[in-house]
Structure 1
């Protein structure tokens, strides 16, 4: 192929991509943006007085945790530690007690480490770029993109489970997205995201809300969906997913044992002996020992004389 022919092919491909992007915008982006203002939940981390730090805290807390459980803890946390500098000075035991029963308490330790890094490397002000945010302890691609979009109103491709599911169904005709994010999903999302900062940030919030409230994993409310008429999954007859929705087992697991041990230590006013831990998880001594060892290794529990306590 000579240079002139190659240039012609490239131009036609570019025109086709633009046409496809325009079609997706008209059939997906625009209707969802129009739907969002009347459907959006009134959440404190979306308020006009939100701070970038408050947004970051909310995103860390919301990982694998329902909004209803997060909201009261988020409010109390921000009242107590409204800035990274405030959290950076907090004793670890106080941080873990404030985290309470949100689960996955290592997230609390990561937030505290993040706060210390912000103070040490950024003068206490949360950085504003995805690259700088991702360099902070415990901040991954999703959280960095969410802060850029939701706190700063700039274009960032925010891909959580809800968004991936909406795009898999509406554009890919799949009941559920793959278990792990693929390059194809990332590329498709980048092509869908509006180029304009304000519109892209609004789309990030709107498509996430659609997945959380309407296009849910197990019982999608297609009759209430603003894009049901152009959904590829609906057009294909809503075929069952090739991958099952992920479920988090709890009863009888090491996670439950860890939670019981942490609950005892959070409520204690001093070191706790083996007897109290046995009472907290009497079912399986080997499992109890394994859970305690994991908590010690993760820095969530510390030895205190002949007993155990939260790290100071």
Structure 2
């Protein structure tokens, strides 16, 4: 049942990188990026001194590049505050830029064996369907997940729930082949899918085509190594001047690049 994941058993830094990459991104895509990224940046100190342009070059195609900026900031915080070592507790991990409760829990569990539940949208579906048979509030879902934690082997247990949700308890579940179908609470009670509207279960993402995400990606893809004129970006991306100005200004605000008049450069 367990998936063969390249970051299984990796260093705490390798686990942190994988969990940041996995935010809103399927395992199948992350597999292609994690190895080259951690080879180039094998420790926080390596990423802390890297340029935004180089990091985004390796990140290109993975999506949600804001995560890459937060990962650089996290690497710098780890070097400056934690002597280059990834913090071990969820509380300290939560203080890193771009790290939320899921990522902090996942790193604490998979890298350090901490006894904390790891709840993403996959596990949220398992909790609502297989274990509760009803939609759950965030409080009830977390309480249920905490009660399930074994005394030993917490990390493999958390991974098994993630794998169950990813492979069988999908948005459109594969109930007939599911390994827990005989004890599934939803299968016993029937009715509407309890995962719909249940805590931690995310809705389908908006289409990428024509979105602001696509426009931002176009600008980042066509930004040259030096200063790039707005007129050149307008020609390369096909965006209207108004859309281009808005996107560039937002990228400057978020720390991707700088702008001086009609010229745009990568952030240092």
Which protein is richer in helix relative to its size? 1
Output one character per residue of 1:61-98: Cα deviation in whole Å (capped at 9) or x when no partner. Answer: 01111222212211111111100111111122212222
Change (3 A) 1:288 1:306: closer
In 1, distance between residues paired with 2:246 and 2:193?
A: 38
In 1, distance between residues paired with 2:251 and 2:265?
A: 11
Asked whether the 8 Å contact 1:169–1:231 carries over to 2, the reply is: yes
Deviation at 1:307, TM superposition (A): 1.5
In 2, distance between residues paired with 1:153 and 1:227?
A: 25
Q: Which moved more, 1:276-285 or 1:292-301?
A: 276-285
Aligned length in residues = 263
The residue number in structure 1 matching 2:211 is 253
In 2, distance between residues paired with 1:282 and 1:83?
A: 38
Write out the 4+ residue segments of structure 1 that deviate beyond 6 Å after TM superposition.
none
Secondary structure of the structure 1 residue equivalent to 2:259: strand
The residue number in structure 2 matching 1:25 is none
Which one of the candidate residues 8, 33, 57 is aligned to 1:97?
57
1:150 paired with 2:90, answer no
In 2, distance between residues paired with 1:188 and 1:42?
A: 27
Q: Equivalences for 1:261-272 in 2 at 5 Å?
A: 261-265=219-223, 268-272=224-228
The residue number in structure 2 matching 1:301 is 257
In 2, distance between residues paired with 1:240 and 1:156?
A: 27
Q: Equivalences for 1:67-78 in 2 at 5 Å?
A: 67-78=27-38
The residue number in structure 2 matching 1:203 is 157
Asked whether the 8 Å contact 1:153–1:197 carries over to 2, the reply is: no
Unpaired runs of 5+ residues, structure 1, are: 1-38
Which one of the candidate residues 127, 142, 150 is aligned to 1:186?
142
The residue number in structure 2 matching 1:42 is 4
Unpaired runs of 5+ residues, structure 2, are: none
The residue number in structure 2 matching 1:173 is 133
Secondary structure of the structure 2 residue equivalent to 1:308: strand
Larger radius of gyration: 1
TM-score, scaled relative to structure 1: 0.79
Secondary structure of the structure 2 residue equivalent to 1:171: helix
TM-score, scaled relative to structure 2: 0.91
Q: Equivalences for 1:2-81 in 2 at 5 Å?
A: 39-46=1-8, 48=9, 50-81=10-41
In 2, distance between residues paired with 1:96 and 1:304?
A: 21
The residue number in structure 2 matching 1:223 is 176
Secondary structure of the structure 1 residue equivalent to 2:146: helix
Deviation at 1:269, TM superposition (A): 3.0
In 2, distance between residues paired with 1:78 and 1:64?
A: 19
